[in-house]
Amino acid sequence: MKVFRPMWVEGALLSPQHFQQQSLWFSHLAALFGRLAQPYFWGCWEVEWDEAALSLGKLKLERLRLVLPDGAVVDCAEADRLPPARDFAAPAEALSVQVFLGLPLWEAGGGNCEREGETPARPRRQRCEYLEVEDLYDGPPAELAVERGNLRLLLEFEERADYVCCPLLRLSRNGQGRWTRDATFWPPALRLDTAPGLLDMLGRIEEMLLARSRQLSERRRERGHGLVDFSVSDAGLFWFLHCVNSAWPVLAHLRQTPASHPETLHRALAQLCGMLSTFSLQQDLADIPAYRHEDARPGFLRLEDWIRGCLDTVIPSQVVSVPLQKGESSMWHGQLADPRLGEQGGFYLSVRADMPPAQLLERFPAVCKIGAPEDVETVVSTASGGVPLSVPPRLPAALPVRMENLYFVLDAGHPAFQRMLAAQACSCYVPASLPGVVVELFVVLKS
């Protein structure tokens, strides 16, 4: 339908058409700027159904706010009335049925208003109601003719050619033949919290990224003054961690602002998929799903699976961390079952304690007993030695160095060391005379 801008000149004879066209022009501008600002400017903002009525086979809305594809704003909380409730019936062969909100199209030839008591042959866009409206200042109230959208709930097999529509709901037939709400259906949404489960999915991805970031961060070297250092061999680790850490703040912000548009989230996830694909041979950039406003759920699920698969990518490392569990009697225990440890290039103990580093450096090699569990029990009771410890002249570049820690290398040529490897387990005794001691064991592989 054409829209005309009234020319306001002196002496013009005012008619209803002046104000109608002026209102249409402003609506046209609002819709135009909406399209320019956001290509997917239409969709649901708030949809709430009467669940009790649904269980009885009746379609009844409780709340409704949305923007239709032609730019018309439907706000049943402020200006419009909710569409009339209706009974639900579907063909016997149907397994699922979509429910739409329909608003009749404008007729350029006029006749767009339905008045009380009229039953027009074709649907009309507006309904006329007479309401007593208060004066915002000092005048008395006056009766005013107001227009409301002539909203209807339509089913997908019903004729919708005369309506501009937006899908709201999908009902599916269960095994007992009853119709239930399809939880996998997402209506076109203007907000993240309008799409069921989208914020939950975002939370899962955010947690995966945070866990992977913490895992990768443990492999960084500390250079000093709170800075970290990466060697040439850690280039893959650096860029993988960079991808994860770059994406997490953006996703965390979107989760905290549920009024954001879903397309914004899709763009952020697609960008993350592209970055993570650098480290995967199984993913192709052309397979990253595009955003589909009318049916966004499959694309988001594919993005989540893509990210989950890429985050499982193993970044090769020359360092194996052997977890040590604190036991009783100042004893630490670890397992050496990793088959790569047979190709070891060096076992290193990382130690820190609540005492001056010089004292720790002097005392620790003398009082620490490390070796196979049976050997350590023997040497502690007899006050003999375990695997000898020494201060390495130079630390391997792959070792995740912490500035406050001291590092000792185990003597790989000692018989006690060979017995420890054969036992595939180790124990480390540190006396209580070293306060606040924390011990970590790393194995630097030859390749």
| Cα–Cα distance for residue pair 149/113, rounded to 1 Å | 10
Same domain, 384 and 413: yes
Closest CA to 101 of 164, 48, 21, 35: 164
The answer to whether residue 115 is domain-embedded is yes
From 124-133, 161-170, 408-417, 438-447, the region with the lowest mean pLDDT: 438-447
The answer to whether residue 31 is domain-embedded is no
Same domain, 381 and 303: no
- State which residues form the domain around 279: 198-311
Same domain, 234 and 366: no
The answer to whether residue 382 is domain-embedded is yes
Q: With bands split at pLDDT 50, 70 and 90, how would you rate the model's confidence at 225?
A: very low
The answer to whether residue 423 is domain-embedded is yes
- The DSSP result for 192-214, as a single string, is GGGSTTHHHHHHHHHHHHHHHHH
| Domain end point (choices 139, 173, 190) | 190
| Domain end point (choices 255, 277, 311) | 311
Same domain, 172 and 202: no
Same domain, 172 and 239: no
* The model's pTM: 0.71
The answer to whether residue 2 is domain-embedded is no
The answer to whether residue 349 is domain-embedded is yes
327-356: average pLDDT: 84
| pLDDT (0 to 100) of residue 341 | 78
Same domain, 302 and 331: no
| Domain end point (choices 163, 190, 217) | 190
The answer to whether residue 293 is domain-embedded is yes
Closest CA to 171 of 185, 157, 151, 153: 185
Same domain, 57 and 112: yes
Whether residue 230 contacts residue 220, with contact meaning beta carbons closer than 8 Å, is answered with yes
**pLDDT above 50 for 293:** yes
Q: Per the structure, how many domains does the chain have?
A: 3
Same domain, 205 and 283: yes
Same domain, 325 and 421: yes
Which residues does 383 contact at the CB level (< 8 Å), separation at least 6?
none
* 11-56 pLDDT, tens digit each: 878 888 888 888 888 888 888 887 778 889 999 999 999 999 988 8
The helix/strand/coil state of 380 is: helix
Closest CA to 258 of 199, 177, 211, 345: 199
What is the residue-averaged pLDDT of the chain?
87
The answer to whether residue 20 is domain-embedded is no
76-89: average pLDDT: 91
| Cα–Cα distance for residue pair 277/304, rounded to 1 Å | 13
Same domain, 323 and 284: no
Same domain, 291 and 409: no
Same domain, 257 and 342: no
Closest CA to 403 of 197, 223, 175: 223
If one compares 443 and 35, the residue with the highest pLDDT of the two is 443
Q: With bands split at pLDDT 50, 70 and 90, how would you rate the model's confidence at 76?
A: very high
